[in-house]
Amino acid sequence: MDGATALVTGGSKGIGRAIVEELARFGVAVHTCCRNEEELNAMLNQWKSMNLCVTGSVCDVSNHAQREKLMHKVQSIFNGKLDILINNAGTGGPGFKPATQVTSGEYSSLMATNFDSSFHLSQLAHPLLKASGRGNVVFISSIAGTGCFPEGVAVYCCTKGAINQLGRALACEWAGDMIRVNCIAPGLIKTSMTQPVTSKFLKSISFTTLFSKKYLESISFDKTNKNDIRLIHGKFPLSI
């Protein structure tokens, strides 16, 4: 991976930040984005002190024009070629809220941030990925898009389910362009975005059960739909 180029959306914190730093440690030149300029600049300074090759842009990925501006900058920085696109940026929206109470604004915001951005950025990146001759697209999805969950996350689940299907479709469509497409669907990860959900979840189960040896041994990384895409997920049992 040394010498490769990557765009990671939503890279200033949480899963995105971990991805940015891991790629950079492997010698990848990484460009990332986030909505908050102060937060981005703080992270860029920190990465510089760590001797990591990371650049960044302020971008609200829910905005069509800002997505286009971001990709123009990436094209310029990496001389028209991109090896890796990681569609990581996302939001939980209104949190736990019954479907009957979700407003049209909340619905539109979730779809624009989670799904529309993933599709549009992949579309914009396609010529850069194709030009590299070894393009890779990774969608950060969620187990919420793979099954049924209690009331309160219907729209969020829809956005992630749509991302999974988009990954399958693009994996088939872009294979001839030497572009690999994969989806990663994590379970509940303790980040700032999931903090409200995490707190509620941990109150409902035994902490010792969640992190017991038996639980850890039960984690599996399954490969599904092997002919077109690998959907890697980390489902965990609530009763052991």
Using CB atoms within 10 Å of the CB of residue 34, give its burial: 0 to 12 exposed, 13 to 18 middle, 19+ buried: buried
Residues 6+ apart with CB under 8 A from 151: 98, 99
Q: How far is CA 229 from CA 47, 92, 181, 200, in A?
A: 33, 25, 7, 33
DSSP3 helix / strand / coil % (the chain, rounded to 5): 50, 15, 35
Alpha helices in the chain (DSSP H): 14-25, 37-49, 64-77, 104-110, 117-132, 154-173, 195-204, 207-210, 213-218
List the structure tokens of 206.
């035994």
Known catalytic residue: 156? yes
Cα distance from N-terminal residue to C-terminal residue, the chain: 39
Length of the chain, please? 240
Cβ pair 235, 187 in contact under 8 A: yes
Tell me which of 78, 139, 156, 174 is the catalytic residue. 156
The catalytic residues are 156
